């Protein structure tokens, strides 16, 4: 079955960096959309970044542009999120997600587009 397993979360001071990983298995990794989403306490889950695994096109929320980088290792079926210049408002549970029905090479940061989700990894940024 499809599995998405996140790792790499933790606690960091403002201005610091964290890299998240998501190991995917159980489906054809290529030519899909993979995304990172986050949910802070009391807030709705929101899209952070996405990548089209077939061509590498990337998409970012305005709030993280220039600070976060989404990337992948197709050979390892692994997705990454490099987070730099972290702010306290980046504190959230971060989720990896897969849109296995994606086609056309364009990815959206809309929750309902993604049909598989990981369990999440916590990132806490202190001021």
Rounded CA separation 75/97 (Å): 18
Give the C-alpha separation, 54 to 71, whole Å.
Answer: 12
pLDDT at position 103 over 80: no
Residue 53, SS3 per DSSP: coil
Pairing verdict, β 92-99 and 121-126: antiparallel
35 closest CA partner among 121, 117, 92:
117
Q: Which two tokens stand for residue 118?
A: 């990981």
Residue 127 has a pLDDT of 94
- What digits encode the pLDDT tens for the residues 27-44? 877 788 999 999 999 999
pLDDT digits over 67-86, tens only?
999 999 999 999 999 999 99
């Amino acid at each position: 079955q499809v599995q998405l397993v996140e790792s790499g979360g933790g606690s960091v001071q403002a201005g610091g960096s964290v890299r998240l990983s998501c190991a995917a298995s159980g489906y054809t990794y290529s030519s899909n959309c993979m995304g990172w989403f986050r949910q802070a306490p009391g807030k709705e889950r929101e899209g952070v970044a996405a990548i089209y695994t077939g061509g590498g096109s990337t998409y970012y929320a305005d709030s993280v542009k220039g600070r976060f980088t989404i990337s992948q290792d197709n050979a390892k079926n692994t997705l990454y999120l490099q987070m730099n210049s972290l702010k306290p408002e980046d504190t959230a549970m971060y989720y990896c997600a897969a849109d296995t029905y994606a086609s056309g090479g364009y990815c959206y940061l809309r929750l309902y587009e993604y049909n598989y989700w990981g369990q999440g990894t916590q990132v806490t940024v202190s001021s």
